[in-house]
Copies of this chain bind each other. A is one copy, B any other.
Amino acid sequence: MDLHFKVNKKSKRNNARLGEFTTKWGVSTTPMFMPVGTQATVKTLNPEELVDAGANVVLSNTYHLWLRPGEDIVDKAGGLHKFMNYTNGPILTDSGGFQVFSLAKEKDIKEEGVYFKSNIDGSNLFLSPEKSIEIQNKLASDIAMSFDECPPYPATYEYMKNSVERTLRWAARGKKVHANNEQALFGIVQGGEYEDLRRYSAIETVKMDFDGYSIGGAAVGETKETQYKEVEYATKYLPEDKIRYLMGVGDPIDLIEGVIRGVDIFDCVAPTRIARHGNAYTRNGKMNIRNQKYKEDFTPIEENCDCYACKNFTRAYIRHCIISEEVLGQRLLSIHNIRFLTKLMEDIRKNIETDTLEEFRDEFKEKYYG
């Protein structure tokens, strides 16, 4: 499916760009952060809370939905949007590749696909490029991903080269069976920290003419500097008129740096995961609400934040909920953290408009790490 992506403005000073794309759910604006609904629900939240927190595209995980409840049930429900009642924006599904490599047990990577054991019940499973696309077709997401190998970091040049070549062959196989005309399909650029492999992966993937391009394996343990370089290596060879998606990256600073390097969309479990452990993003850095000093602090998590949590609850109350293991505390921090990132993207977009994103980054970093 054509996403009708268009770049509305490009920075004259760096690779940042303002864009938009269109699906049957309406117009989506980039750069954008996508919250992750691993098992067809963004942990602890309902769809209205996502919209209220400024979310548009939601990501869901093919691997998890394949195992539970199974793609056929989602299909019978009328697709993922209907199943999870998310009708306010597009849904993007990943390919399952990352989860196979991070969660699955006893995996055996062959040319035909990956044999492994389920992380839930230990049963024998097999995922291939064709199977991943078939599942994503049934999930009826708006944007699907090609099945790739996400190699560990660090990996030797030799390993990475073989892996990149196999991922290219897998991408071609997936594209061949991609049957859903209402679903866009992205190719994934791998290559780890190796400039020539990222270049090779990008150029060869682009040759296959996907609806958009993802940068994978850039949030698997490398330093920020290495991650930024990996992004640069890849974006250089990606077409201007297609969406660029940096997978699994959600640290506030990394979002700004990614946009400066030409990335359009991002996803990460961090805002909801750190929330469940009692952490909140603020412009003055990450805050652990469990800290004793918030015990009698009757101010919101962040002054001037327009999220539901900040408008209605105090640090003292949220701390009490987190310490007492009450779900509402996790909900409130999740809402705040998602809103923090969607608001950050709004500010990023404003600063692309005025071409002041680098100044914005410097100021943001100073306060955030201050």
Contact = CB atoms under 8 A, between A and B. Distances in A.
Interface of A: 39-41, 43-47, 64, 68-69, 73, 76-77, 83-85, 295-296, 298, 312-314, 316-317, 319-321, 323-324, 326-331
Contact of A40 (B46, B76, B320, B330): B320
Nearest to A46: B328
A341 B323 CA distance: 30
A85 B64 CA distance: 36
A296 B76 contact: yes
16 contacts: A39-B320, A39-B326, A41-B326, A41-B328, A43-B326, A44-B327, A46-B328, A68-B323, A69-B295, A69-B316, A69-B319, A69-B320, A73-B296, A73-B316, A85-B317, A327-B327
A77 B324 contact: no
Contacts of A328: 41, 44-46
Contacts of A85: 312-313, 317
A98 to B, nearest CB: 18
Contacts of A84: 317
Central interface residue in A39, A40, A312, A320, by most chain B CB within 10 Å: A320
Nearest to A40: B320
Given A320-B69, A324-B68, A327-B327, A314 B77 contact: yes
Nearest to A313: B85
Contacts of A319: 69
A223 to B, nearest CB: 34
Given A39-B321, A77-B298, A77-B316, 12 more contacts: A39-B326, A40-B317, A41-B321, A44-B327, A44-B331, A47-B312, A68-B324, A69-B316, A83-B314, A83-B316, A83-B320, A85-B317
A77 B295 CA distance: 11
A297 to B, nearest CB: 10
A65 to B, nearest CB: 9
Nearest to A298: B77
Contacts of A298: 76-77
B46 A320 contact: no
Contacts of A47: 312
B331 A46 contact: yes
Contact of A324 (B39, B296, B330): B39
A44 B39 CA distance: 18
A331 to B, nearest CB: 7
A212 to B, nearest CB: 29
Nearest to A311: B85
A191 to B, nearest CB: 34
A58 to B, nearest CB: 13
A324 B73 CA distance: 15
A320 B68 contact: yes
Q: Please give me the 3 A-B residue pairs with the lowest Cβ-Cβ distance, nearest first.
A: A69-B320, A44-B327, A41-B328
A316 to B, nearest CB: 6
Contacts of A330: 327
A41 B330 CA distance: 12
A204 to B, nearest CB: 37
A88 to B, nearest CB: 12
Contacts of A69: 295, 316, 319-320, 323
Contacts of A76: 296, 298
A84 B298 CA distance: 11
